[in-house]
Structure 1
Amino acid sequence: MGDSPERRATTGTGRRFRWLRAAGDRVPTKWFASIGAGAFLVATAAFGGMATAREPGPVPLAAGEPYRGAQFELTVERAVLLDELSAAGVIVEPGQRVLGIVLEAENRWTEPIASAATGGLATAVSIEALPGEPPASIARYDDATVRPWLQPGVPARLAVVWAVDADRFADGERIRVVVHEQTLTTGSFVTSGTSWGDPVAAATVELVIDDVDAGAEPDPDAGADPDPDAGPEAGR
């Protein structure tokens, strides 16, 4: 007997996450050069040379170069396109695909933070080409846990995903990820407790999109079960 539709769907989404991981095992190295150049500039400025003040605005970072803020330390690694990624909690409509940003996040606060909540990672990262559009979902990269809580001091590799029109982005296209610094507010009078909010652009990371599903072989488990009465010559 063939597998049930539910088992085939689970197998398909699991395979899709494996494609995502396999395409991401290439560790970016060009940011080492950026760090070296930055160290040189700091040392030079200490001796009075090249002490030109930087223009105000977001700091441009290379892929794989960390941004250390008050709330998170974020390392944006890469951007991918997929046909679907329901295992990450995003549902695409006909004519849509999934744009995903792979990053590592470490909660630098003293309390757990809900990654997908307002004031969490969902408002700390955005796509410049998708203004005002929060991610559809956030999932752990290792086990696909959807909308995880981020524990203090524990780095987590995550997939931050959006459902986008199928022709909105293409393989090889450059996009800019914006990292936002958020402010911790303590309530008083009417409100109480503490919360993060008021995101302000602090850094940008330019990425080249990798279409993970481009040229992918069809899922062999997605087809109809073979007819057991068709004989060994069926399908040849």
Structure 2
Amino acid sequence: MTTPGDGPAPTTRARFGWIRAASDRVPTRWFAGIATGIFLAGTAAFGGLATAATPGPTTLEAGDEHRNDQLAVTIRRAVLVDEFPEAGVFVQDGERVLALLMDVQNTWIEPLPAYPGSSVTESVTVEGLPLEPESVARYDDATLSPALQPGVPAQIVFAWAVEASAFEDGQALTVTVNDMTLYTGSFVANGQWWTDPVAAATIPIALEDIGAGG
């Protein structure tokens, strides 16, 4: 029989001694990691680690410039016209041409080709139209699929053939300008290219019906 002050029985002391010995062999950083894990779990439970909301695209007006490491883009007009062969689009019965006129400047260090499916056309889209225009042309000399030289401003046209009844004068369109990411190839793929469009700016614009052209 033990009396007060005698301390734990030998068996009890042996048990606690084993626990102390085991804890002495655990690296201190393990305790820090366990404490951190408990803290993170508690914080997450209360929403303290919620991911910050990603900013959405900015809203611009026609005539405003959006500039990134690939292009500077200014949307000028969206027009509906009976025909526009100079832009490289030829309509059939019941069709008209919807054309988007914009100023662009290649802000990169290499020429950028502008043709349907290129990184230039991926950089600008119009809600309600196919992602890629049917044709791209310079507005000043009607060059089709022009190459945009670094630092040289150009005015170009994206053009689509559309059903004549699908659009009307004054109709609101939303143009989106995308930021692209530059990738550098290695091993199998060589060179550099722009891809992965992400919406950076939206431009509401009213469609102008100019009939036979003007």
Give the TM-score of the pair, scaled to structure 1. 0.65
CA contact (8 A) 1:81 1:100 kept: yes
Read off the aligned partner of 2:176 and give its amino acid letter. Answer: V
1:143 aligns with 2:145: no
Counterparts of 1:55 and 1:197, CA distance in 2? 20
Paired position in structure 1 for 2:131: 133
CA contact (8 A) 1:79 1:102 kept: yes
Counterparts of 1:140 and 1:170, CA distance in 2? 25
Match of 1:164 among 162, 176, 186: 162
Counterparts of 2:143 and 2:53, CA distance in 1? 40
Counterparts of 1:206 and 1:93, CA distance in 2? 29
**Correspondence 1:35-184 to 2 at 5 A:** 56-130=55-129, 132-184=130-182
Paired position in structure 1 for 2:207: 209
1:187 aligns with 2:180: no
Paired position in structure 1 for 2:43: none
CA contact (8 A) 2:184 2:191 kept: yes
Structure with greater Cα Rg: 2
**Helix, strand or coil at the partner of 1:213:** coil
Runs of 4+ in 1 over 4 A off after TM superposition: none
Give the TM-score of the pair, scaled to structure 2. 0.72
Report the count of equivalent residues.
Answer: 163
Structure 2 portions without partners, runs of 5+: 1-51
**Helix, strand or coil at the partner of 1:171:** coil
Counterparts of 1:103 and 1:115, CA distance in 2? 13
Read off the aligned partner of 1:173 and give its amino acid letter. Answer: Q
Q: CA RMSD in A?
A: 2.0
Post-superposition offset of 1:181: 0.9
Read off the aligned partner of 1:57 and give its amino acid letter. Answer: G
